[in-house]
Amino acid sequence: MQTATTTTGTRPRREPVWADGAPVPASAAWREGDPLGDRQLLSIGPLTLEGGETLPDVTIAYETWGTLSPTGDNAVLVLHALTGDSHVLGPAGPGHPTAGWWDTLVGPGCPIDTDRYFVVAPNVLGGCQGTTGPATNAPDGRPWGGRFPFVTTRDQVRAEIALADALGVESWAFVVGASMGGMRVLEWAVTAPERVRALGAIATTAQTTADQIAWAHPQLEAIRSDPGWHGGDYYDLPEGQGPHVGLGIARQIAHTTYRAAVELDERFGRTPQGAEEPLGGGGRYAVQSYLDHHAGKLARRFDANSYLVLTESMLSHDVGRDRGGVEAALGTVTARALVVAVDSDRLYLPEQSDRVAAALPGADGTHLIRSDYGHDGFLIEFDQLGPLVREFLG
Ligand SMILES: CC(=O)SCCNC(=O)CCNC(=O)[C@H](O)C(C)(C)COP(=O)(O)OP(=O)(O)OC[C@H]1O[C@@H](n2cnc3c(N)ncnc32)[C@H](O)[C@@H]1OP(=O)(O)O
Ligand SMILES: N[C@@H](CCO)C(=O)O
């Protein structure tokens, strides 16, 4: 975040404020009464979680494109990553903080052709774009906030299975997602192999590694140590008083892992940001300003509690837990499988995709995307990802 500089003694002290000085909402979660946009809401009733707690009344927000065929054989499930949502394609607008995040891959004539497929994209359980999450009201009429229970990848998939049941989709022609979305893809294929005919696991892992847990840890700490977090109960605070600084710092840590070191060096080098003076003058390098920008953008469109809940669900992810290990679990998958990695991804390493591809009976190895951009390559390198998906779907 950009910083206001005050002087204490001889050294400037940096106080985080937001780049353009405009107040940041305590939470940018979608709340009941906000514009629906293109999303639909489905109540799936109570959901008992792996941890034993029951969410009494779960709503799933989702979007669809295309038409379900009479035999129901053309349904595709698209699962978003950490800060994505159901808005896979379509403009930003009322109810939608961002334009479609995969509109190069999904749409009429696209590799996932909505003239051919019925495409469904839910917002994940614990998210903040309409599906039940910490910003949703609990039965007492107040937001769940810090009381929202721990949810696992498996809980999230069980909620999505209830959505499939309600939509009349007995089996998916393709279940696809990247990063956190790819975790749910793999979990779907192990939990309900008979319902996944093909899968696309992109820039993801079968179990979250110590390195990924390590990167996530200071992100969780940044939010929880923000005085504006208030134990997760900040929804009634006025603008500017929520946990946006902690959320922004979490995003900065995460965003750095989403890009490659070489890209950052080549793009920004040691250049100061504009006329700012980073050498003792309290100013920033351009790369710091870049991270501030992404921190501010996320804090204006996301909910800090959802960031915590979803990050912790990723830490829970292990398709092999209580199933005899990763290889045994993935060995039960019957789907044809497309496994894709980004060669410069320093968060979800290509070796982790290799492990997935080796264990999935329906995979033909890892397809490697050549990219300078690191993990975010799955959002950027459409020229490579598009043909892979098009060819796979035939
Ligand atoms: C799957 C999903 O679910 S994710 C949902 C969508 N994803 C996100 O929102 C993630 C956050 N965004 C991103 O990671 C990236 O923007 C991507 C992956 C979507 C696109 O990557 P790129 O095209 O390489 O964008 P890049 O990382 O360079 O960011 C560009 C932004 O940085 C800004 N920027 C670049 N340099 C600087 C700088 N020195 N100082 C301040 N801002 C800067 C640009 O002005 C631009 O701003 P804008 O996005 O508000 O127009
Ligand atoms: N940019 C992606 C990366 C995480 O996979 C997101 O924010 O969800």
Percentage of the chain beyond pLDDT 70 is 95
Among residues 288, 308, 304, 307, the alpha carbon closest in space to that of 19 is found at 288
CB 78 within 8 A of CB 119: yes
Name the residue of 204, 258, 291 to mutate for ligand 2: max ligand atoms within 8 A of Cβ: 258
Considering the domain boundaries, does residue 270 fall inside one?
Answer: no
Helix (H) or strand (E) holding 199: strand 198-202
Considering the domain boundaries, does residue 351 fall inside one?
Answer: yes
Considering the domain boundaries, does residue 230 fall inside one?
Answer: no
Catalytic residues: 179, 345, 375
DSSP assigned state of 367:
E
What number does the ligand 2 atom closest to the CA of 83 have? 8
Residue 391 CB partners (closer than 8 Å, separation 6+):
none
- Whose tokens are 């774009």? That residue is 129
Q: Please report, in angstroms and rounded to a whole number, the separation of the first and last CA atoms in the chain.
A: 45
Considering the domain boundaries, does residue 332 fall inside one?
Answer: yes
Predicted confidence (pLDDT) at residue 373 exceeds the cutoff of 80: yes
Q: For position 8, what pLDDT does the model report?
A: 45
Residue 140 is assigned to a ligand binding site:
no
Give the CA angle between residues 7, 10, 16 to the nearest 5°: 35
CA 224 to centroid of ligand 2, rounded, Å: 20
What number does the ligand 1 atom closest to the CA of 292 have? 41
pLDDT tens-digit series, residues 279-307: 988 889 999 999 999 999 999 999 999 99
Residue 154 is assigned to a ligand binding site:
no
CA 181 to centroid of ligand 2, rounded, Å: 10
What number does the ligand 2 atom closest to the CA of 81 have? 8
Domain count, the chain: 1
Name the residue of 293, 311, 375 to mutate for ligand 1: max ligand atoms within 8 A of Cβ: 293
* Nearest ligand (C-alpha, residue 314): 2
- What amino acid is encoded at 290 in this protein? Y
Residue 374 Ramachandran class (φ > 0 left, ψ -120 to 50 alpha, else beta)? left
Predicted confidence (pLDDT) at residue 266 exceeds the cutoff of 70: yes
Considering the domain boundaries, does residue 227 fall inside one?
Answer: no
Q: How far is CA 375 from the centre of its chain?
A: 12
Name the CA dihedral angle for 319, 320, 326, 329, rounded to a multiple of 10 degrees. Answer: -80
Residues with a CB atom less than 6 Å from ligand 2: 81-84, 179-180, 258, 376
Give the CA angle between residues 253, 284, 303 to the nearest 5°: 35
pLDDT tens-digit series, residues 182-222: 999 999 999 999 999 999 999 999 999 999 999 999 999 99
Considering the domain boundaries, does residue 218 fall inside one?
Answer: no
Predicted confidence (pLDDT) at residue 9 exceeds the cutoff of 80: no
Q: For position 137, what pLDDT does the model report?
A: 97
- Average pLDDT for residues 171-191, to the nearest whole number? 98
Token readout for 77 is: 């499930």
| Sign of the CA dihedral with 126 first, then 129, 135, and 141 last | negative
CA 12 to centroid of ligand 2, rounded, Å: 34
If you count DSSP H runs as helices and E runs as strands, how many of each does the chain have, helices first? 11, 12
Domain that holds residue 389: 24-209+318-393
Reported confidence tier of residue 13, pLDDT bands at 50, 70, 90: very low
pLDDT tens-digit series, residues 276-286: 999 988 889 99
CB 21 within 8 A of CB 15: no
CB 24 within 8 A of CB 18: yes
* DSSP calls for 19-74: TT-----S-----TTS--TT-EEEEEEEEE-TTS-EEEEEEEEEEEES---TTS--
Average pLDDT, the chain: 94
Strands 11-16 and 3-8 turn out to be antiparallel
pLDDT tens-digit series, residues 50-105: 999 999 999 999 999 999 999 999 999 999 999 999 999 999 998 898 999 999 99
CB 344 within 8 A of CB 317: no
CA 4 to centroid of ligand 1, rounded, Å: 23
| ipTM tops the 0.90 cut | yes
Q: For position 282, what pLDDT does the model report?
A: 82
Predicted confidence (pLDDT) at residue 7 exceeds the cutoff of 60: no
Considering the domain boundaries, does residue 296 fall inside one?
Answer: no
Q: Provide the angle, in degrees to the nearest 10, between the axes of the packed helices 286-299 and 244-258.
A: 120
Q: CA 184, CA 196: separation in Å to the nearest integer? A: 12
Percentage of the chain beyond pLDDT 90 is 91
CATH of the domain at 338: 3.40.50.1820
Token readout for 316 is: 């829970």
Token readout for 198 is: 């093909």
pLDDT tens-digit series, residues 18-34: 556 678 999 999 999 99
Higher pLDDT, 11 or 318: 318
Helix (H, G, I), strand (E, B) or coil at 93: strand
Predicted confidence (pLDDT) at residue 5 exceeds the cutoff of 70: no
- Average pLDDT for residues 366-393, to the nearest whole number? 98
Rg for the chain, CA atoms, rounded? 21
- What amino acid is encoded at 282 in this protein? G
Considering the domain boundaries, does residue 199 fall inside one?
Answer: yes
Q: CA 369, CA 203: separation in Å to the nearest integer? A: 10
Predicted confidence (pLDDT) at residue 274 exceeds the cutoff of 90: yes
- What amino acid is encoded at 14 in this protein? R
